[in-house]
């Protein structure tokens, strides 16, 4: 049997899972090569704690290339420029063109900071708690706020799809301000494109709106729904409904967009740069190309006054990576089976930190209709989220991709 060349673009959740599963199952039947601009794996869900000093980047980041080497996976530190699916080639900045038999696209987090002027963290006005290089800067800004308190605004722009992390940051902000003894000097405002609190881009969970509104009232946080940002100035945020939000410190969640390399590969993607796939995470036209996690086009099954997207968190990212790997393995081994699970049919499994407290979310499907869905508050601690962090860091540090 011919040895197949499999290229995986990306080395975090989706890319690492797909690469390790492919090599584990195919062994010498395939040469698996991961291409990524970074050699590190970062546990993004714990980024919400970095801006408050509860975690350092070194606590949640480690080199992934040595783990790949132990698993027999080749690693190239380079940036993909584009993909030519007709020639089965990936163009990279430093290594030129690389040929594949199968391609897995897991290009990870890219954000559309152009949706509102002055939104980009480099402008120095708005903080970001998802991209690793800005997490520790948000901690510096928080320390400045503690010394010289003022209004804080936290929100998600129109088109955003990661409201959960912004909610977590909001509740941790409240908790840490109280712990530092300055909460009474800080007005805290939350705005969101959601039509109601707790929609989360999944159509909400029964009881979720009531629970989150109770949290907001308990923590004395003002909230605005159906919000859309008009413009940002150095001390004010203007919403399109006419409201003006003064701030001393602000964090805003922008929309996700496809990676630049995918935008340069128009035959594979939609207008936002996301790869257009079927329910097996296989491209609808080029059957040897797969995409997982944030790289996948997922259409929102709802329409609201202000547009926003659906969440692409760690759990569905891993699920999609394992499905893609199984389908590639079946194709190489000549099996007719093809595994399918639409993004919206992946179970809803999430633990949301609520300021050293947490809300555990379970549902049989991410999108409605569901047979069951529940939100369970743990008001005493956030040990669930901490245990999950420890589990995933252990799992990826040891290359145990077969674990759930």
Active-site residues, by number, are: 162, 350
Q: What is the rounded (10 degree) CA torsion for 67, 70, 76, 80?
A: -60
Token pair in block for residue 144: 């400045």
DSSP classification of residue 120: S
User: Half-sphere exposure of 110 toward its Cβ, with a 13 Å CA cutoff?
Assistant: 19
Name every residue whose Cβ is closer than 8 Å to that of residue 50 and which is 6 or more positions away in sequence: 56, 57, 60, 129, 135, 136, 138, 139
Name every residue whose Cβ is closer than 8 Å to that of residue 232 and which is 6 or more positions away in sequence: 116, 117, 118, 119, 125, 126, 238
User: Can you list the alpha helix ranges (DSSP code H) found in 148-191?
Assistant: 163-179
**DSSP strands (E only) in 240-335:** 244-246, 249-253, 289-291
- For residues 352 and 315, the answer to whether their CB atoms sit within 8 Å is no
Token pair in block for residue 152: 């804080």
User: Can you list the alpha helix ranges (DSSP code H) found in 187-299?
Assistant: 208-219, 260-263
Residue the block writes with tokens 């080199």: 63
- Return the SS3 of 274: coil
| Coarse DSSP helix, strand, coil percentages of the chain, rounded to the nearest 5 percent | 35, 25, 40
- Return the SS3 of 82: strand
> What's the Cα-to-Cα distance from 250 to each of 88, 156, 191, 319, rounded to whole Å?
44, 11, 11, 34
């Amino acid at each position: 049997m011919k040895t197949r060349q499999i290229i995986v673009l990306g080395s975090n959740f989706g890319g690492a899972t797909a690469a390790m599963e492919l090599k584990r199952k195919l062994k010498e039947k395939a040469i698996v090569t991961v291409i990524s601009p970074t050699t590190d794996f970062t546990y993004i869900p714990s980024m919400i704690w970095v801006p408050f000093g509860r975690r350092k980047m070194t606590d949640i980041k480690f080199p992934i290339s040595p783990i790949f080497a132990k698993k027999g996976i080749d690693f190239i530190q380079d940036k993909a420029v584009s993909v030519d699916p007709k020639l089965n080639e990936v163009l990279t900045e430093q290594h030129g063109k690389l040929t594949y038999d199968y391609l897995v696209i897991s290009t990870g987090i890219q954000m559309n900071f152009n949706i509102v002027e002055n939104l980009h963290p480099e402008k120095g006005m708005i903080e970001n708690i998802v991209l690793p290089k800005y997490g520790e800067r948000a901690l510096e800004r928080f320390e400045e706020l503690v010394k010289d308190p003022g209004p804080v605004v936290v929100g998600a722009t129109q088109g955003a799809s990661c409201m959960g992390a912004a909610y977590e940051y909001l509740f941790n902000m409240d908790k840490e301000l109280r712990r530092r003894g300055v909460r009474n000097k800080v007005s805290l405002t939350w705005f969101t494109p959601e039509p109601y609190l707790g929609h989360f881009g999944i159509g909400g969970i029964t009881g979720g709106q009531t629970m989150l509104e109770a949290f907001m009232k308990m923590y004395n946080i003002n909230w605005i729904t159906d919000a859309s940002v008009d413009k940002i100035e150095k001390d004010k945020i203007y919403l399109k409904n006419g409201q003006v939000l003064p701030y001393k410190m602000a964090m805003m969640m922008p929309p996700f967009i496809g990676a630049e390399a995918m935008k340069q590969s128009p035959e594979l993607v939609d207008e936002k740069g996301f790869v257009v796939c079927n329910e097996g995470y296989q491209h609808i036209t080029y059957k040897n190309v797969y995409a997982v996690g944030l790289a996948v086009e997922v259409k929102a099954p709802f329409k609201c006054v202000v547009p926003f997207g659906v969440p692409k968190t760690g759990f569905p990212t891993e699920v999609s990576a394992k499905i893609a790997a199984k389908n590639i393995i079946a194709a190489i081994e000549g099996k007719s089976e093809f595994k399918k699970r639409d993004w919206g049919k992946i179970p809803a499994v999430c633990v949301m930190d609520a300021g050293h407290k947490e809300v555990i979310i379970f549902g049989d499907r991410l999108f409605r209709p569901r047979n069951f869905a529940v939100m369970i508050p743990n008001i005493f601690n956030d040990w669930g989220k901490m245990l999950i962090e420890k589990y995933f860091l252990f799992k990826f540090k040891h290359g145990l991709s077969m674990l759930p």
